[in-house]
Amino acid sequence: MISSHAFNMTSTEMWVERHRPRSVSEMKGQATIVERLKAYAGQRDFPHLLFAGPPGTGKTTAALALARDVFQDYGIYSRNLLEMNASDERGLQSVRTKVKEFARMAPDQNVPFKLIFLDEADALTPDAQGALRRIMEQYAGTCRFILSCNYSSKIIEPIQSRCAVFRFRPLAEDQILEMVQEVAESEELVLEDHGAAAVVHVAMGDLRRAITALQVAASLSNNITRDLVYETTATAPPEQLHAFLRSCQEDGFQPARGKMYAIIDRFGLAGTDIVNQLHRSLADVQFMTEKEKLAVTEAMAEADFRLVEGGGESLQLDALTARISTILKIG
């Protein structure tokens, strides 16, 4: 989520931070969630909150914007907010010391409560979550918690039951496009239509990834083209992935293998990258039957697993190419 306007910050700052909303009212996307958070901001009160959803969907933005709306003054905001990344401080000791010490101190006068924001809370160990649950109970009168996570299933039930749970969804393509265009205009870029579509494709519903891709491309040229976006994000264009699959079907193993390694070399892909990008591209392939897609998906899943487990990259990619060629030739 981004603000409808840019902020006066240095040119070296990450654009994700430069365009981050400062208030809940400036947020775009996640309309139902935003309406509920606006109500909390107006009341200057809310229960413990749990924000769950994929990366880049606005969880951190929502937490910090809500904190600013409740505390209003920056000095009050900075003194009464503790922001922690739980993936960096995931153990029991961090919860018992840093979190508890902050929670036990009284908030400023005329401030309803202190606020602790734990990002990536699903990285906390079970013991740390148990200690956190006790702190949430003990200091509920003077301290609120906002937890964000990618997977709410990794948060223990006693914590979930003490929170209002908000589930963030990947942003729609039209929302990503609108926000990318706003950032490009603010940064005085020439964003070609095909370049904008490429940014949206790369993002996969993740606005942070979209804005980062735009900034990386802009570091090389003020004119954002489709080719520039794909070449700076380690992403192969869909038509090249389709050409590889077509080669497996029509030309066989050796020519298809050559196409795969040409794609890998041009776009700087790791083995798992090309496997996952091929899998994503299957949905739009028109020259394969559903039965063939199912069989190819199973082959990709097996190759991805073996690569993650440390299998040799060249051997696994060759084996995948051979299996896809066999499946499509037989089919």
Residue 6 confidence (pLDDT) above 50:
no
- Once rounded to an integer, what is the mean pLDDT over residues 133-144? 91
**What are residue 294's DSSP bridge partners?**
none
Query: Where, residue-wise, is CATH 1.20.272.10 in the chain?
Result: 238-330
Cβ burial, residue 283 (10 Å; 0-12/13-18/19+): exposed
Supply the CATH classification number for the domain 173-232: 1.10.8.60
How far apart are the C-alpha atoms of 88 and 94, rounded to whole Å? 10
Give the whole-number percent of the chain exceeding pLDDT 70. 95
Distances (CA, A) of 127 to 104, 131, 185, 251, 312: 20, 6, 48, 56, 37
For residues 240-253, give the mean pLDDT.
96
pLDDT at res. 208:
93
User: In angstroms, rounded to a whole number, what is the distance separating the alpha carbons of residues 178 and 181?
Assistant: 5
Q: For residues 18 and 10, is the Cβ–Cβ distance under 8 A?
A: no
44 to 60, 69, 114, 117, 119: CA distances (angstroms): 19, 8, 12, 16, 21
pLDDT band at 85 (very low <50, low <70, confident <90, very high): confident
Q: pTM for the whole thing?
A: 0.82
Amino acid 9: pLDDT = 38
Average pLDDT, the chain: 91
Answer for the pair 232, 216: CB distance below 8 angstroms, yes or no.
yes
Closest CA to 64 of 22, 105, 109: 22
**Would the pLDDT of 8 be above 70?**
no
pLDDT at 92: 74
Q: What CA–CA distance (Å, rounded) separates 156 from 176? A: 33
Q: What is the dihedral of CA 70, 76, 77, 81, to 10 degrees?
A: -100
pLDDT at 62 over 70: yes
Kindly tell me if the per-residue pLDDT of 188 is higher than 70. Answer: yes
Lowest mean pLDDT, pick from 33-47, 85-99, 255-269, 299-313: 85-99
CB half-sphere exposure, 328, CA atoms < 13 A: 24
Q: Could you tell me where in the chain the CATH 1.10.8.60 domains are found?
A: 173-232
- On the question of pLDDT at 7 being above 50, the answer is no
3.40.50.1100, 2.60.40.10, 2.40.440.10, 3.40.50.300: CATH of 30-167: 3.40.50.300
Residue 205, Ramachandran bin (φ over 0: left; ψ between -120 and 50: alpha; else beta): left
pLDDT at 214: 96
| More confident: 107 or 96 | 107
Q: What is the pLDDT of residue 201?
A: 96
- How many angstroms separate the CA atoms of 266 and 236, rounded? 9
Instruction: Report the CATH fold assignment for 238-330.
Output: Zinc Finger, Delta Prime; domain 3 (1.20.272)
Tell me, what's the pLDDT at 90?
A: 63
Residue 255's identity, in one-letter code, is P
Q: What is the pLDDT of residue 95?
A: 78
pLDDT per residue as tens digits for the range 39-58: 999 999 999 999 999 999 99
